[in-house]
Amino acid sequence: MKKIWKISVILLAGLALAGCSQKPKQKTASSKGSATIKVTKNKKQPTKMGHLSDQDLSPQKTVAVIVAYAGDRYSGSWNKALLDGKQNGIEVDLKNQSDYSYMNEGSGVAYMVSADAGYTLKQVNGENIYYLFSNGKKLGSVTMKQMVDYLNKRDSDSLVNNLAQNAKVNDERSDSSEDSSASAGKKSNLPGDDGLFNVPTEFQGTWYTYIDDKMSIIKISQNKINVDNYVQELHKVKAGFLDKYTYGDMSASYHKATKNWGMAGMGNQSVHGINYMNVRGWMQEAGDGDFYGLHTEKGQSVLVLAQGAGPWVSGVAWKTPQLAQQYKHKKFKDLYYQDDQ
């Protein structure tokens, strides 16, 4: 009996093992009614996106988008303009594109964010194309949508809004009525003013030079001189006025009215063969001011820059940025430099 019992146990164990070995496969996830376990990979958190739009932008916000875009993408003067804008606000001057020989694309207006950074725009197939320039060179062209998409990927809403809040747009384009001969020489009622000084035609235009390896742009019109966006309206001073009055004698309102004036005049005789135009601050008591003289170097008409009692040459300005770059370290033997004295 024990023997039979042992055999039965062995048989039952064998059947159990056989049953385990023939266990059906689990159903796939596609089988109906089966429980499925989803395995998901750790996904990278999505980058936060901005909500800027390229539609119906105000002039201030348009400028803010361009400065934020170009300042982030490009180094040099555009990046500096962005950093300055964050601290002091953006100020964009609308100029005549014709004053910038290197800006050969656009619709006639140069938008200068700084002396070295600016842009133009032109409508092509119904869409505005923005042409970006820096230090006399074209960097590239871009649409507003492309700039907005670029900034949205960097979540730049607050940056653009802050820049736009403090942005100023100044229209400094020359108007034919302002520069006409009818208005030239007009006198104000302010003491000492003998009327606008008319700059000789041959001095007028845009000139380029380098100071400490940085390009400087000098723009001269009939009655104004603009050196790296510092503009002076040029006036003649009445004879004997400076013998009777000093700047300190004048009222605060007089100071405010003349803060952007310059005293200008042509020399009575040439110095070292050059006839200079002299520009000083209004009622300037000390110093000799700045001298500008026409000359020829390398077969090109140039504007000689001079200072001091000499006056001694401090630089040479050219008609194009390329010539200014080519000769930025050149000293010419026929000019009298202060270092040579």
Mean pLDDT value of segment 224-231 = 93
* Domain boundaries, given as residue ranges, for the chain: 59-171, 193-340
Q: pLDDT, tens digit, for every residue of 195-210?
A: 999 999 889 999 999 9
Q: Rounded to whole angstroms, what are the CA distances from 136 to 71, 115, 133?
A: 17, 10, 7
Read off the tokens for 41: 């990979």
Q: Where are the alpha helices (DSSP H) in 153-219?
A: 157-165
Q: Please say if the pLDDT value at position 19 is more than 70.
A: no
Query: For residue 332, how many other CB atoms are within 10 A of its CB?
Result: 15
pLDDT band at 118 (very low <50, low <70, confident <90, very high): very high
User: What is the distance between the alpha carbons of residues 237 and 285, in angstroms, rounded to a whole number?
Assistant: 13
pLDDT band at 238 (very low <50, low <70, confident <90, very high): very high
Asked: is 59-171 a CATH 3.90.930.60 domain? The reply is no
What is the enclosing helix (H) or strand (E) of 150? helix 144-152
* DSSP label of 308: T
Q: Which amino acid is at 338?
A: Q
Mean pLDDT value of segment 122-131 = 89
Helix (H, G, I), strand (E, B) or coil at 63: helix
Q: Rounded to whole angstroms, what are the CA distances from 66 to 86, 113, 167, 229, 334?
A: 14, 10, 12, 20, 45
- Burial class of 1 by CB neighbour count within 10 A (0 to 12, 13 to 18, 19+): exposed
- Burial class of 65 by CB neighbour count within 10 A (0 to 12, 13 to 18, 19+): buried
Contact at 8 Å (CB) between 278 and 290? yes
Contact at 8 Å (CB) between 304 and 335? yes
